[in-house]
Structure 1
Amino acid sequence: MTADFVDQLEPNVAVQFLNRVAETPDLEAFRYPAGDGWKSVTWQESSDQVRRLAAGLLALGLEPEQRVGIASGTRYEWILADLAVMCAGGATTTVYPSTNAEDTAYILGDSECRVLFAEDDAQLAKVTEHRDSLPRLSKVVTFDGTADGDFVLTMDALAELGDAYLAEHPGVVEETAAAIEPDQLATLIYTSGTTGKPKGVRLRHRGWVYEGAAIRVQNILDERDLQLLWLPMAHAFGKVLLSAQLACGFATAIDGRVEKIVDNCAAVKPTFMGAAPRIFEKAYARIQTMQAAEGGVKEKLFTKAFEDGLRFDELQRQGKPVPLPLKVRHALFDKLVFSKVRERFGGRVRFFISGSAALNRDIAQWFHAAGILILEGYGMTENTAGAAVNHPDTNRFGTVGRALPGAEVKIGENDEVLLRGPHIMAGYHNLPEETANAFTEDGWLRTGDQGSLDEDGFLTITGRIKDLFKTSGGKYVAPTAIESKFAAICPYASQFLVFGAERNFVVALITLDPDAMASWAGENGMAGKSYQEIIRSDEARAMVAGYVDQLNAGLNRWETVKKWEILDEDLSIESGELTPSMKVKRNVVAANNAELLAAFYE
């Protein structure tokens, strides 16, 4: 695929947005929950709001590359605020709404934020608590919180400031946008990390514009598509989907409430959606447990449908003829079974894009058997989220696809995945030594991931290099590969964490999904019992033991899990065991359960 488009990129995100508005002013741009329904906004209407807010920021004295924080969940106002910062020449600093007050203050202080968009009073309270340590923060603009008319303004008040500024400087937004250089700082995203203080990743306008354009030139999305966006906009994966929207012109329905994803799919009927593997694992587990609960003929029909569906898919992938009886059964099962699975997601999904963690191959193939294509991709904050992604016409299960057009990927020492291209970060904010260590001597970004490339350029990720461990017998174990296999086998699992570095066998800590276990309890004579009572029961332990045995049957001898325990509570962001983007902090989990892990080997 030609990469000539890289030489013709728009200079910055602001111009990219304004060009999109000029090209399709009357098409739907965004849709967001309003009362019992959804309110739709055109590109022109969103631009009118963005221009007022951008002018308001300029009226407050915002200068090029000065940071503006956004502490909020995913919602339409987040998008407006971010685009306003882009059009005012500032740099958005993202803060997860779940970030505690201390870390919020650290991020706002380290980034030297001048203005903050805060979702509500809960986010405002974090700033109030640490206001003395944030001398550069001059204004807070709140979406739903309590304004004081001085330090804290409403969105409407900022827009009114903008109206007055535009009356005096009518072309200021366009002039400001035109002056932004491609290498200018656009976004500062603090990686939550699994150890130490978060690091601010400096991402340029060039990177975001490139990401959107690299998706556009693959001709997989256009103005006819509709996205459901729920991913945290504080995370690079969520933000890159906005870049793709600006480049491709599709509409986006926005609602960050994770618990509403399935309901929103039914209401919105999206044609595509980005998600983390956990969403697919939970959907897969829920469908499996529902069918098991039905039992009888329905369960047998369901099981046979997927047996045939997987066989049908395999023959097609291999280019082999499909026997007529299988074709006939597949068409019947599509009407009776697969269509109902697709209907859970609205019935119009052309594909999902999975990123931020490894997706189990068996789960991807199971969904594909039902007619739902999941394109797995790969990237990290340090490369503006997207480094490689599968394509609908050339999807290869178990891989994360080829490098985006115009970018490069190669395998370095210790099989480390290395990246190069327009999407690579400018560095870590205020951390020159860390920045230097992130690159090879010849300028490739070190990802910290181990992987391999096949002869066609498809990338496979083994896991984080720092997570790989060696047993005392000298055998290497890739924990994430084992963990994702368990997620595909056990529909009741929430987390399955493997340990065993320098030990003579592998062990696991397990947490179970409270909702799934509540249903299981009802079917096993324990309805109404507490989560702790359920998971401590002999029946629950026997159920988990069966799934562990099933897992072990497919592993190498040195990988098999010899001992395991179910934890009393699921991992959470609040406990510090998960990052805001739902990645597990292994070191924290290990420290919190040090006695239990030691007891396995006594």
Structure 2
Amino acid sequence: MSDTQTLIENRPPTVAALFLDRVAATPNAEAYRFPVPAAGPEGGPDDWKSLSWGQAAERVFAIAAGLISLGLRPEERVALASNTRVEWILSDLGVMCAGGAVTTIYPSTNAEESSFILADSESRVLIAEDAKQLAKARERRAGLPNLAHVVVLDAADAVGAEGDPEGWVLSLADLEARGNEHLAKHPEAVRERIAAITADQLATLIYTSGTTGRPKGVRLPHDNWSYMAKATVATGMIHSDDVQYLWLPLAHVFGKVLTSGQIEVGHVTAVDGRIDKIIENLPVVQPTYMAAVPRIFEKVYNGVAAKARAGGGAKYKIFQWSVGVAREYAKVTQDNFRRTGQATAPFGLATKHKIADALVYSKLREAFGGKLRAAVSGASALAPEIGYFFSGAGIHILEGYGLTESSAASFVNPGEAYRTGTVGKPLPGTEVRIADDGEVLLRGPGIMQGYHGQPDKTAEVLESDGWLHTGDIGELSPDGYLRITDRKKDLIKTSGGKYVAPAEIEGQFKAICPYVSTIVVHGADRNFCSALIALDEPAILGWAAENGLEGKTYAEVLAAAETDRLIETYVQTLNEGLQRWQTIKKFRILPRDLDVEHGDLTPSLKLKRPVVEREFKHLIDEMYAGSREA
């Protein structure tokens, strides 16, 4: 048996047990860093504080004991509705150490859907970030007979209201105080709960943010997370001396899996979910690795391009040249590494790369904190040409792949041997096969138990022998690298019988056009493909100021004929590289950007195609007016 097999097969049954092992091994080592906003009306830079593993354990045990004192029984659900912050992680661990199961809720979820999740999961306790999250539960309390308590993270917001049952609202500090009192009387209460947890006991219930209908609760037992902790470390992706910057929503399975790997390896994690603080935080945190979704890398790329363009024609030409060099360098070095094991480049290309590094790439790396060894990208596909640019600039983006139903991480690119445009190789212990229709099937210790209370829905995707139907179309290379080509349900079949993968075309356009935020390719049962294009506000306003549209609002720039002509040039460039049936014959610029608030994107920033196509149906109909099938 290999060392990797031993590591995974001898895993503890629970993350709670893994946490105890970590605390025992390195009690004084730094575990978490978190920001404390500057006091006073003037504000100022945040003050960052730390928790050691031992200090974190004290708070986790207090939370766990507090929940036990409230009557929480094994596998009963505790919902968590909060942005990413250190208290989210401590609460999550506290629930698991109490033997309970965490139901995750995005803080952006509206009151109706939050109420549905709380009711469907039969959550006994809600841990709410602030007054806003408390108000959602209070508004729907009549329909939540199982919800016995709401614990509010921000103590100032833990205020009861007329009509609240006695003791219904308490602060996290109150809960921890109760827990410490309980531990004083029953010092082994939490350890006894942990010892009693079995590998198949429910640990997490994550509701998928589907594009239609009610979300489904994905049941993930303790063994899923214990496996993920061991398997992600076995890939060599993370090290004990790493500093992780964690900003992803922890309500999403991608963010959740990162906390499990950290416990196994024991590195430092800096936690701050405020997206508007990312640029400010990176030089302070100086992470060695971080995870993000493609939209973040796309925005960084567009922002760098816009900044170069604002510097004048010469500076922008240097930037464009450096982009070409980076992409060529990445492709050559990755190909040479695949063939020889050495990431080498010819002398002429290496020389150009060195010059471009001094002019452009080094500044980009400094913006990421200067110490970034690798960035992990997941949740949706990253446009390969954007990936090649970052790779050539020395920011190595390791694409990965997984579903909520597979505990997030089923594939990841292996360190130096990563290949842009693929999602890498399966995690140790995970099996993969490609069905006759091209669908990717997965089997292994990371696969869910099923959908909560929905056996029929479970049977639709999970076979009796453990194979999970992912709904994604993919291709495996002879040496095991997976490339996802599209969602099975998103494949377009034109009225001419040709199949089109919209995500592939959309990715190519994002690499060509520095102004695009999102593009939605349409064409199912039509005789040509069209596109709805949303433009990035800062990037297009920067262009507008230099092209006779200065002073115009974002909405006015989007509606301008000059903007339409600009985007037309990029669509023509895109079409030159496509097959005839793939080309975009018509497009429309959307009157606003797509976002989570309008329901166009999921909280993990995935595109909701049906929602967008429904909302902007009038623009789609306009493009096909007069065509044969219209």
Structure 1 pair 135/484, CA: closer, same or farther in 2 (3 Å)?
same
RMSD value, Cα:
1.4
Give the match for residue 11 of structure 2. Answer: 9
In 1, are the aligned partners of 2:236 and 2:415 still within 8 Å (CA)?
Answer: no
Structure 1 residue 569: Cα displacement = 1.5
SS at match of 1:488: helix
Structure 1 residue 575: Cα displacement = 2.1
Pairs within 5 Å for 1:64-83: 64-83=74-93
Letter in 2 for 1:121: A
Structure 1 residue 441: Cα displacement = 4.6
In 1, are the aligned partners of 2:444 and 2:466 still within 8 Å (CA)?
Answer: no
Structure 1 residue 151: Cα displacement = 0.8
SS at match of 2:33: strand
Pairs within 5 Å for 1:309-348: 309-319=326-336, 322-348=345-371
Q: In structure 2, what is the Cα distance between the partners aligned to 1:595 and 1:334?
A: 47
The reply on whether 1:495 has 2:518 as its aligned counterpart is yes
Letter in 2 for 1:587: P
Q: In structure 2, what is the Cα distance between the partners aligned to 1:322 and 1:393?
A: 15
Structure 1 pair 16/327, CA: closer, same or farther in 2 (3 Å)?
same
Pairs within 5 Å for 1:355-374: 355-374=378-397
Letter in 1 for 2:112: E
Structure 1 pair 311/567, CA: closer, same or farther in 2 (3 Å)?
closer
Give the match for residue 260 of structure 2. Answer: 243
> Which of the residues 281, 289, 296 maps onto 1:279?
296
Structure 1 pair 170/202, CA: closer, same or farther in 2 (3 Å)?
same
The reply on whether 1:515 has 2:525 as its aligned counterpart is no
Give the match for residue 547 of structure 2. Answer: 524
Q: In structure 1, what is the Cα distance between the partners aligned to 2:51 and 2:195?
A: 25
Structure 1 residue 325: Cα displacement = 4.1
Q: In structure 2, what is the Cα distance between the partners aligned to 1:478 and 1:214?
A: 32
> Which of the residues 124, 128, 136 maps onto 2:134?
124
The answer for unaligned runs of 5 or more in structure 1 is none
Structure 1 residue 541: Cα displacement = 0.8
Q: In structure 1, what is the Cα distance between the partners aligned to 2:418 and 2:102?
A: 34
TM-score of the pair, normalised by structure 2: 0.93
Give the match for residue 186 of structure 1. Answer: 203
In 1, are the aligned partners of 2:334 and 2:418 still within 8 Å (CA)?
Answer: no
SS at match of 2:433: strand
Structure 1 range deviating more: 213-222 or 429-438: 213-222
Structure 1 range deviating more: 135-144 or 32-41: 32-41
Structure 1 range deviating more: 411-420 or 218-227: 218-227
The reply on whether 1:136 has 2:169 as its aligned counterpart is no
Q: In structure 1, what is the Cα distance between the partners aligned to 2:116 and 2:148?
A: 16
Q: In structure 2, what is the Cα distance between the partners aligned to 1:322 and 1:160?
A: 61
Q: In structure 1, what is the Cα distance between the partners aligned to 2:286 and 2:116?
A: 40
Give the match for residue 560 of structure 2. Answer: 537
Give the match for residue 261 of structure 1. Answer: 278
SS at match of 2:416: coil
The reply on whether 1:93 has 2:93 as its aligned counterpart is no
Q: In structure 2, what is the Cα distance between the partners aligned to 1:98 and 1:239?
A: 17
Structure 1 range deviating more: 528-537 or 141-150: 141-150
Pairs within 5 Å for 1:417-566: 417-566=440-589
Q: In structure 2, what is the Cα distance between the partners aligned to 1:302 and 1:569?
A: 28
For 1:359-380, what per-residue CA distance to the aligned partner results, in whole angstroms no more than 9, with x for missing partners?
1111111001111100000000
Structure 1 residue 259: Cα displacement = 1.6
SS at match of 1:372: coil
Structure 1 range deviating more: 514-523 or 110-119: 514-523
The reply on whether 1:229 has 2:246 as its aligned counterpart is yes
SS at match of 1:137: coil
Q: In structure 2, what is the Cα distance between the partners aligned to 1:240 and 1:261?
A: 20
Q: In structure 2, what is the Cα distance between the partners aligned to 1:383 and 1:261?
A: 28
Structure 1 pair 293/143, CA: closer, same or farther in 2 (3 Å)?
same
Give the match for residue 146 of structure 1. Answer: 158
In 1, are the aligned partners of 2:330 and 2:392 still within 8 Å (CA)?
Answer: yes
Structure 1 residue 483: Cα displacement = 0.9
Q: In structure 2, what is the Cα distance between the partners aligned to 1:252 and 1:365?
A: 27
Pairs within 5 Å for 1:563-578: 563-578=586-601
Structure 1 residue 171: Cα displacement = 1.0
SS at match of 2:369: coil
In 1, are the aligned partners of 2:305 and 2:316 still within 8 Å (CA)?
Answer: no
SS at match of 2:417: coil
Q: In structure 1, what is the Cα distance between the partners aligned to 2:346 and 2:181?
A: 72
Letter in 2 for 1:508: A
Q: In structure 2, what is the Cα distance between the partners aligned to 1:535 and 1:265?
A: 32
Structure 1 residue 85: Cα displacement = 0.2
Q: In structure 1, what is the Cα distance between the partners aligned to 2:614 and 2:266?
A: 47
Structure 1 range deviating more: 578-587 or 378-387: 578-587
Q: In structure 1, what is the Cα distance between the partners aligned to 2:599 and 2:328?
A: 43
Q: In structure 2, what is the Cα distance between the partners aligned to 1:11 and 1:56?
A: 23
Structure 1 residue 305: Cα displacement = 3.1
Q: In structure 1, what is the Cα distance between the partners aligned to 2:8 and 2:449?
A: 18
Give the match for residue 237 of structure 2. Answer: 220
Give the match for residue 20 of structure 1. Answer: 22
TM-score of the pair, normalised by structure 1: 0.98
Percent identity reads 51
SS at match of 1:318: helix
The reply on whether 1:385 has 2:408 as its aligned counterpart is yes
SS at match of 1:393: helix
Q: In structure 1, what is the Cα distance between the partners aligned to 2:226 and 2:434?
A: 26
Structure 1 residue 301: Cα displacement = 3.0
Give the match for residue 628 of structure 2. Answer: none
Q: In structure 1, what is the Cα distance between the partners aligned to 2:511 and 2:413?
A: 21
Q: In structure 2, what is the Cα distance between the partners aligned to 1:583 and 1:324?
A: 41
Q: In structure 1, what is the Cα distance between the partners aligned to 2:306 and 2:111?
A: 39
Q: How many residues align?
A: 602
For 1:5-40, what per-residue CA distance to the aligned partner results, in whole angstroms no more than 9, with x for missing partners?
222001101111111111111111111111322111
Structure 1 residue 550: Cα displacement = 1.1
Give the match for residue 31 of structure 2. Answer: 29
SS at match of 1:33: strand
SS at match of 1:414: coil
SS at match of 1:48: helix
Q: In structure 2, what is the Cα distance between the partners aligned to 1:470 and 1:328?
A: 46
Structure 1 pair 338/408, CA: closer, same or farther in 2 (3 Å)?
same
Letter in 2 for 1:305: S
> Which of the residues 62, 65, 74 maps onto 1:55?
65
The reply on whether 1:404 has 2:404 as its aligned counterpart is no
In 1, are the aligned partners of 2:399 and 2:424 still within 8 Å (CA)?
Answer: yes
Structure 1 residue 418: Cα displacement = 0.4
In 1, are the aligned partners of 2:85 and 2:272 still within 8 Å (CA)?
Answer: yes
The reply on whether 1:291 has 2:308 as its aligned counterpart is yes
Structure 1 residue 263: Cα displacement = 1.3
The reply on whether 1:169 has 2:186 as its aligned counterpart is yes
Structure 1 residue 221: Cα displacement = 1.5
Q: In structure 1, what is the Cα distance between the partners aligned to 2:213 and 2:322?
A: 49
The reply on whether 1:395 has 2:405 as its aligned counterpart is no
> Which of the residues 105, 113, 125 maps onto 2:115?
105
Structure 1 residue 340: Cα displacement = 0.5
Q: In structure 1, what is the Cα distance between the partners aligned to 2:225 and 2:50?
A: 25
Structure 1 range deviating more: 325-334 or 355-364: 325-334
Structure 1 residue 557: Cα displacement = 0.6
Q: In structure 2, what is the Cα distance between the partners aligned to 1:110 and 1:287?
A: 45
